[in-house]
């Protein structure tokens, strides 16, 4: 089978298309024939070595396809089931062995590409808005990269809850995309200081929570945007890692809360997975969560997909089409 691997961590050019034997599922595992794989920043973190993994590094943490075979003891799925998953590396491939407990069945009216586009970023938006800082009607949140894949879904979920959403974007084109997702106010961070705007738009109070996937370049101003006892949910670092800092800064800015969550810690049980994935896929099926697929690439063009994602010029989800 064809697969993308990294033998030496580094740039997009280190993504190598190789032929390897098709794996076989072991106990509690399923073999999935991949139709579509999501492209996410976590893939870049593994490719560059920011996140450590044994060599050769299998890339891709999200996919959708059909169960081909199952190992001993599998009760969650059966051959022929249409399934999707996240947080199991190796989806940049024609086949992947996945723990059966991580697979969820795709609703009948949701296609493979939509399922692959929804899983990782959709469940990320879900845990951020439902668990990390559970929004309620009347809350105000600031969403960075509001025209991106995770950002756009976070905006939609926040609006479905009844929150007020301030979204930051880099261009007028992305501003329009964020507005279509439901953002109430747009802050063009290339022309405005977003912390100053966030305070102005909240009458000086500050927002209840900032959902920040950017990291290094936004960290301090994200803290400045919060109300007293507000929460900064730093769930990504597309601009780089945040430097070390004195935790006393959280006190001086209003006894703030800071968390660095990741999806895996919000999928600790199969019941939690089925809840999150179920709500996300059902919302897609019902039209309450609209996916924006920016571009779909063939498997051999994985390096181009990574370059496009890193350029931050895309708006929405990037996919690899495996078949």
CATH number of the domain where residue 255 is located: 3.40.50.720
pLDDT at 235: 95
> In this predicted structure, what is the pLDDT of residue 238?
83
Specify the pLDDT at position 137.
Answer: 98
- The total of structural domains in the chain comes to 2
Report the C-alpha gap between 135 and 295 in whole angstroms. 31
What percent of the residues of the chain are helix, what percent strand, and what percent coil, each to the nearest 5?
35, 25, 40
- Give pLDDT, residue 80: 98
H-state helical runs in 162-301: 172-181, 194-201, 219-224, 248-252, 270-286
b/e map 237-256, b = 16+ CB within 10 Å: bbeeebeeeeeeebeebeeb
Residue indicated by tokens 């909240």: 202
pLDDT at 315: 74
Q: Which helix (H) or strand (E) holds 184?
A: none
Residue 166 and residue 220 in one domain: yes
Q: For residue 248, give its domain range.
A: 136-260
Residue 254 lies in a domain: yes
Write down the pLDDT at residue 41: 87
Coil, strand or helix at 118: helix
pLDDT of 316 reads 77
- Distance (Å, whole) CA 142 – CA 152: 12
The 10 Å CB-count burial string (b at 16+, else e) for 156-188 is bbbbebebbbbbbbbeeebbebbbebbbebbbe
pLDDT, averaged in runs of 10, over the chain (323 residues): 96 97 97 97 92 95 97 97 96 98 96 96 97 98 94 96 97 93 95 96 98 93 98 91 94 98 96 97 95 94 95 84 86
Tell me how far CA of residue 27 lies from CA of 65, 102, 104, 179, in angstroms.
Answer: 20, 14, 18, 47
Domain assignment of residue 223, yes or no: yes
Same domain, 210 and 149: yes
Residue 311 confidence (pLDDT): 87
pLDDT of res. 312: 75
**Domain check: are 203 and 144 in the same one?**
yes
pLDDT on residue 303: 97
């Amino acid at each position: 089978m064809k697969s993308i691997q990294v033998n030496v961590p580094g740039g997009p050019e280190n993504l190598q298309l190789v032929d390897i034997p098709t794996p076989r599922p072991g106990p509690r595992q399923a073999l999935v024939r991949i139709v579509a794989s999501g492209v996410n920043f976590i893939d870049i973190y593994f490719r560059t070595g920011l996140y450590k993994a044994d060599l050769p590094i299998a890339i891709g943490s999200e996919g959708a396809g059909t169960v081909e075979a199952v190992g001993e003891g599998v009760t969650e799925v059966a051959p022929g089931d249409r399934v999707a998953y996240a947080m199991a590396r190796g989806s940049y491939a024609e086949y992947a062995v996945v723990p059966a407990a991580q697979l969820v069945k795709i609703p009948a009216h949701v296609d493979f590409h939509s399922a692959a586009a929804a899983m990782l970023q959709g469940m990320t938006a879900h845990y951020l808005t439902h668990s990390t800082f559970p929004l309620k009607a009347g809350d105000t949140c600031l969403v960075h990269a509001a025209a991106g894949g995770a950002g756009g879904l976070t905006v939609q979920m926040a609006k479905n809850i009844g929150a007020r959403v301030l979204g930051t974007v880099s261009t007028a084109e992305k501003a329009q995309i964020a507005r279509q997702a439901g953002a109430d106010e747009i802050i063009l961070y290339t022309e405005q200081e977003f912390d100053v705007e966030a305070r102005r738009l909240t009458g000086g109070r500050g927002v209840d929570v900032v959902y920040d996937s950017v990291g290094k370049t936004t960290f301090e101003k994200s803290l400045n945007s919060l109300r007293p006892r507000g929460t900064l949910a730093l769930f990504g670092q597309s601009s780089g890692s945040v430097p070390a800092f004195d935790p006393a800064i959280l006190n001086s800015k209003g006894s703030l809360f800071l968390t660095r969550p990741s999806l895996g810690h919000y999928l600790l049980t199969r019941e939690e997975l089925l809840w999150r994935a179920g709500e996300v896929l059902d919302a897609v099926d019902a039209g309450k969560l609209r996916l924006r697929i920016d571009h779909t690439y063939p498997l051999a063009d994985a390096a181009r997909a990574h370059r496009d994602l890193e350029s931050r010029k895309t708006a929405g989800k990037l996919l690899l089409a495996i078949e």
